[in-house]
Structure 1
């Protein structure tokens, strides 16, 4: 009797714009074979195409309005403060909760948005949003799994021991890529060990380093990038090819473990493209008089920052600043709350990644609202959307904002106080940041000081198995939100009708679909209430710093 199983290999940030050239150069023979002989397509990410909401949509099969994750951080309702999202922040049932309820075994390795780990029927190693980096500090389920991995495979590492920028400057570009390769290699070894030992019904491993490398080395891969240096690229590209070959090699070794009952899915959470310039949206709001600062505090904040920078120079910061919660509170006070005159501010961009997450400051909803709800808010929102469309690059004159979405336009439902009121989608080549201490609206990116690549919506999807058709269909209507229902179907399980995604029927053999069409079950999709937070204040700050190092936050 056949036992349906699924293996998912996630290559974070993978894009055909990079993989196709790497395949043509011969660096990725396993992906070439997989693509040539099986199903491949584009896979659209969420809006915004950010790691946290994208993986939450993969995990739940629902859109951000249902699962509640719009970015790495969330604004606390009725407040101007924000907290970091984690697995406990997800409001809907996850794929692994459903599989566990159905008696299926589960194993996941390194996936974002899985910290703190869930008590699944199997094992779970959280991804880079977990506070621990070294194997001694990683929390797994079961709790002693990390000891088994360290003993049988060697020291496990979730993420780099320092920020990419710091490592590139300290050790060099080739050495940095070698570190990334090493993490990929160890991830692959761990995946093979656990898969062979436990043989779960659903197995997933996530390779993060492709995302990290593309953020920092995009200008080397992209000859059209304004910062591309052909001499520098000629020196670095061979090391990049070696890195991608290591990724491909580990994909190939996992494919070798598959049996005829297992369907393989290879995918990314989003695609990638060039980043030429940062847009500081709150600076634009300030110049348009939509955002007001407290008198005199702009100078005060700059003074405090200079003092702290000076303390850092002498490496005395840890001794002179308060420790623990008091230090975190002090550093946070240097952000929005300290600067903004909320009673006179109509809108602000909150710390987010890539897109602008804009909250209007509404009376009755927000702590010190400035806008009357109803017609005034509606009129101001319309005005703001029109004005944002006029933002253009001062150097090229090109439009810098592709589109501004009203949240109810893309995520109908009860988003009040959780979702931003507007999502500002930058044009290709731009990313939006929220810093208040910037003196200009635009700042061109500088290689090795800033990231030069950023996320796009268009990711990748490949599938292999007895139920899968052989077709290259880059125009397929496939989205990351469709993966959870598709996986449930491939495992022979009913799909909760609360899921927003659909089964990717274009990838599945028509005869299989006719014999066993998708079945649905009535389910609210709401998960039982867990703990309010999975982070201490110190851990939250650590995650913020890690995201800053990746270029997601500044």
Structure 2
């Protein structure tokens, strides 16, 4: 007879594996330095093309993005040309801890990103207390529901919120860094409280501060970045390094509280690097290739207003009190409505084009073909015409060069259907544009599009890389680097198997190196 292992999982959202390894080996991150010597470790892989928005949903289900349906903050409404905000409440796939809970195991789930709250959980859950860009910023969801008031009374609310809205000077970056350290410390205290509350079969907590600081402060870590400011860097220091050090200490403190008979996973989900991509140029590139008018003036006005909100602190100062009562309810109604104003803020000519962009975060550009039989006003027929169009468009995109470097701006163009199958495949972009991210993309040129120049309108200086980093130790797990990377889809079936629960439907596989130990005599 075997005894089910207890499992503890500590996540670090979007903490870059290269920085972790660099700073661990130099001694700045003693917890990770110790794990390199005492744990099994390996890089992890993410869903190609969609990992930015789908990595945590895929982790939580063991399913590929086209099986669970979530890949971006805004997704296409099927049968239309409109996109709508994708909320965690739109997510319908089974979470692996729900299955484990129903099997009688006791679970504690704290701040796993991009995941809806569960009901009737055999344990506790906290949703979006301190996550990056919380999906539920105005209310703390917990199970049991009475837990929310207890947490808010003891730990307060998230001091960060939507991290794009920081002031970008010495004082602003300093305050941002200090708030992130404070949140890291509170997350450690909150996690410790519930870790010690009882001997959970499954305990999970995720630190998100690495995600926020990577987006906003990459330029202060990278002297080659065009937005690097030596005066600010000298005054503020390196906020990314400071946050990694704080998280390293928090994880070290938690690991000391975990029993030796527990299987422990420490996962940096995916990475971070400079925000170099051409997604903000992609729609105009497609318009030029198709020789259609560029996006509507209304859309540019909307972008300008959004940019003003992000970049002008005085606007935020006067408008912030009104957001909760006016802007957010209006935004949510318009975002999911069929009213003309919603159309005006997107591309009203999309239905007459052969292809158009879909939101897919920024790392990969997303292109949707206007397909006959799928779109309301389809222009491209499935089959030979579809294949020929994809081939020509791919070549046209590959021909575009970065004027500053002379190199192509596109590394490759992927067809989604070559990499994915599943219930939601027809809801996704057809083509994925993987950018050459070796240098900033601002001025591009090709014989077909001429020269196009535009300044990146966003404020984030860092963006994601696909690979993560896993450390694992516990009964039966040998230390050292594993032979091959592990897919993010493999965690759900592996954790379930350690707890002697079988998941009914997963794309991932049980990781052989972490299978259930031999029977106990």
TM-score bin, normalised by smaller chain: 0.7 to 0.9
Shift of 1:443: 4.5
Aligned to 1:142: 144
Find the aligned partners of 2:433 and 2:252 in 1 and give their Cα distance: 39
- Report the CA distance shift for 1:322/1:477 in structure 2 as closer, same or farther (over 3 A): closer
- Report the CA distance shift for 1:290/1:429 in structure 2 as closer, same or farther (over 3 A): farther
Q: Is the 8 Å Cα contact of residues 77 and 84 (structure 2) preserved in structure 1?
A: yes
Shift of 1:229: 5.1
Aligned to 1:508: 514
- Report the CA distance shift for 1:49/1:30 in structure 2 as closer, same or farther (over 3 A): farther
Shift of 1:303: 6.2
- Report the CA distance shift for 1:314/1:408 in structure 2 as closer, same or farther (over 3 A): closer
1:208 aligns with 2:208: yes
Find the aligned partners of 2:305 and 2:257 in 1 and give their Cα distance: 56
Q: Of 401, 417, 420, which residue of structure 2 is paired with 1:411?
A: 420
Which deviates more from structure 2 when the two are superposed, residues 2-11 or residues 218-227?
Answer: 218-227
3-state SS of the aligned residue for 1:197?
coil
Q: Is the 8 Å Cα contact of residues 48 and 70 (structure 1) preserved in structure 2?
A: no
- Report the CA distance shift for 1:391/1:299 in structure 2 as closer, same or farther (over 3 A): same
Find the aligned partners of 1:99 and 1:252 in 2 and give their Cα distance: 27
Q: Is the 8 Å Cα contact of residues 53 and 361 (structure 2) preserved in structure 1?
A: no
- Report the CA distance shift for 1:271/1:291 in structure 2 as closer, same or farther (over 3 A): farther
Shift of 1:41: 1.0
Q: Is the 8 Å Cα contact of residues 184 and 209 (structure 1) preserved in structure 2?
A: yes
Aligned to 1:379: 388
Q: Is the 8 Å Cα contact of residues 358 and 422 (structure 1) preserved in structure 2?
A: yes
Find the aligned partners of 2:195 and 2:432 in 1 and give their Cα distance: 40
3-state SS of the aligned residue for 1:205?
strand
- Report the CA distance shift for 1:98/1:304 in structure 2 as closer, same or farther (over 3 A): closer
1:367 aligns with 2:376: yes
Shift of 1:478: 0.7
Aligned to 2:244: 244
Shift of 1:327: 5.6
Q: TM-score, normalised by structure 1?
A: 0.80
Gaps of 5+ in 2: 443-449
Find the aligned partners of 2:231 and 2:169 in 1 and give their Cα distance: 19
Shift of 1:131: 4.7
Find the aligned partners of 2:259 and 2:373 in 1 and give their Cα distance: 59
Q: Is the 8 Å Cα contact of residues 4 and 201 (structure 1) preserved in structure 2?
A: yes
1:27-59 Cα shifts (integer Å, max 9, x gaps): 211111112111111111222354431011101
1:394 aligns with 2:403: yes
Shift of 1:276: 3.4
Shift of 1:225: 3.6
Shift of 1:9: 0.6
3-state SS of the aligned residue for 1:386?
helix
Aligned to 2:67: 66
Aligned to 1:155: 156
Shift of 1:209: 0.9
3-state SS of the aligned residue for 1:288?
helix
Aligned to 2:445: none
3-state SS of the aligned residue for 2:149?
helix
Q: TM-score, normalised by structure 2?
A: 0.84
Shift of 1:88: 4.0
1:210-234 Cα shifts (integer Å, max 9, x gaps): 0111112222323444444566545
Shift of 1:350: 1.5
Q: How many residues align?
A: 496
Find the aligned partners of 1:106 and 1:133 in 2 and give their Cα distance: 24
Aligned to 1:266: 266
Aligned to 1:424: 433
Aligned to 1:255: 255
Q: Is the 8 Å Cα contact of residues 117 and 141 (structure 1) preserved in structure 2?
A: yes
Find the aligned partners of 2:232 and 2:494 in 1 and give their Cα distance: 43
Q: Which residues in structure 2 correspond to 1:92-111 (within 5 Å)?
A: 92-111=93-112
- Report the CA distance shift for 1:493/1:233 in structure 2 as closer, same or farther (over 3 A): same
Shift of 1:313: 9.2
Find the aligned partners of 1:305 and 1:513 in 2 and give their Cα distance: 55
Find the aligned partners of 2:82 and 2:464 in 1 and give their Cα distance: 26
- Report the CA distance shift for 1:467/1:252 in structure 2 as closer, same or farther (over 3 A): same
Find the aligned partners of 1:55 and 1:442 in 2 and give their Cα distance: 35
Q: Is the 8 Å Cα contact of residues 39 and 471 (structure 1) preserved in structure 2?
A: yes
Q: Of 429, 451, 461, which residue of structure 2 is paired with 1:452?
A: 461
Find the aligned partners of 2:141 and 2:440 in 1 and give their Cα distance: 33
Which deviates more from structure 2 when the two are superposed, residues 230-239 or residues 378-387?
Answer: 230-239
3-state SS of the aligned residue for 2:404?
coil
Q: Is the 8 Å Cα contact of residues 50 and 65 (structure 2) preserved in structure 1?
A: no
Find the aligned partners of 2:238 and 2:163 in 1 and give their Cα distance: 23
- Report the CA distance shift for 1:406/1:415 in structure 2 as closer, same or farther (over 3 A): farther
Shift of 1:4: 1.7
Gaps of 5+ in 1: 434-438, 517-554
Find the aligned partners of 1:281 and 1:197 in 2 and give their Cα distance: 51
Shift of 1:246: 1.2
Shift of 1:156: 4.0
Q: Is the 8 Å Cα contact of residues 17 and 468 (structure 2) preserved in structure 1?
A: yes
Q: Is the 8 Å Cα contact of residues 101 and 121 (structure 2) preserved in structure 1?
A: yes
Let me know the Cα RMSD of the aligned residues: 3.5
Find the aligned partners of 1:431 and 1:64 in 2 and give their Cα distance: 29
Which deviates more from structure 2 when the two are superposed, residues 335-344 or residues 13-22?
Answer: 335-344
- Report the CA distance shift for 1:322/1:244 in structure 2 as closer, same or farther (over 3 A): closer
- Report the CA distance shift for 1:239/1:282 in structure 2 as closer, same or farther (over 3 A): closer
Q: Is the 8 Å Cα contact of residues 110 and 205 (structure 1) preserved in structure 2?
A: yes
- Report the CA distance shift for 1:301/1:277 in structure 2 as closer, same or farther (over 3 A): closer
